Amino acid sequence: MTDATLPSPEPGERLEQDVESAVLAAAATAVDAAAEAVDIVPLDSPRRLLLVHAHPDDETIGTGATMAKYAAENVLVTLVTCTLGEEGEVLVPEIAHLAADRDDGLGQHRVGELAAAMEALRVKDHRYLGGMGRWRDSGMMGTPANERSDCFWRADLDEAVRELVAVIREVRPQVVVTYDENGGYGHPDHIQAHRVTVAAFEASSDPAYAPELGERWQPSKLYWTAVPKSVLQAGIDALKESGGTDFFGVDSADDLPFGVADDVITTEVDARDHLDAKVAAMRAHKSQIEVDGPFFALSDHVGQRAFGREHYILVRGERGPGSETSDRESDLFAGVEHP
């Protein structure tokens, strides 16, 4: 873990927390400056991976270990985030005033958190769909945030798709990752990210579609992120055994709004070697993620280990070979030809 840049304070130590905030802010500034200075030439990297996520922190929670692993292998990892996560709940009392119903400053704060998280994952290419702040976090269905005309849920789909096609044609990823049609768990921004990504995946390969956005590009594979029910159940059982708090208040993985049957999982990326980077990135998303919560505190770090393997469902493209022990792919690029 990069403790030098991301110190973890004892709870309640105000001074330490201020120091950590300052360090994170400095890291964010450094990353922003680097992003402007570094001119990425996508085709310099033979393997290119594009991930489309809804809010800052989704990339780390669902795919952070995968991103760190591929970045470490010199794959060009490009993250597109669709909103700034303005409507998120603020877990840190000191900055509770940033919440949407108070100062409404959470989006800008999360830009810094995301930049620090990318620093931790060593991912250099991160962008906001349509530019920073183009679309706002939609909040949950039925809330006032979801009625706003500037929210991503109400985005003009054609415009959003064009923005993503431009990125796909520039970066030319062989592999694209986003959520399933339910957005994983039903959040409107996740559902919208799914719709936009699927449409852009198709459109980018059509030479008749917006030729001014660049030469057509056909990515080889499209994946949904997924959490197998067995993994969720193991977490629930481990928490119960430890006598700790319950896991989202349920006894069975069947009662959770996310989680898929194990047999639909096509791909398991074992990135436990990069778990430290993922945990550091989770710490960077301090306003949203409580890394020192009960799940993480489990003895022998069951919780942390569970986060080192990430799962996917291949929905477009040829499935690559499995291994001796499993017919699941272990590599998102399995079977993909690249220069």
Min dist. Cβ of residue 18 to Zn ion (A)? 28
Which of 329, 65, 77, 62 is closest to 183 using CA atoms? 62
Min dist. Cβ of residue 210 to Zn ion (A)? 28
Toward Zn ion, which CB reaches closer, 38 or 140? 140
Which of 297, 305, 307, 308 is closest to 243 using CA atoms? 297
The residue type of 188 is: P
d(CA 125, CA 58): 16
Q: Which residue is nearest to Zn ion (CB)?
A: 55
Toward Zn ion, which CB reaches closer, 72 or 92? 92
The total of other beta-carbon atoms located within 10 Å of residue 248's CB is 15
Distances (CA, A) of 254 to 47, 108, 190, 227: 37, 36, 21, 12
d(CA 71, CA 171): 15
Binding site for Zn ion (CB under 5 A): 54-55, 58
Min dist. Cβ of residue 193 to Zn ion (A)? 9
Toward Zn ion, which CB reaches closer, 46 or 186? 186
Min dist. Cβ of residue 58 to Zn ion (A)? 4
Q: What angle do CA 306, 311, 312 make, to 5 degrees?
A: 165
Toward Zn ion, which CB reaches closer, 54 or 76? 54
Toward Zn ion, which CB reaches closer, 54 or 68? 54
Min dist. Cβ of residue 119 to Zn ion (A)? 20
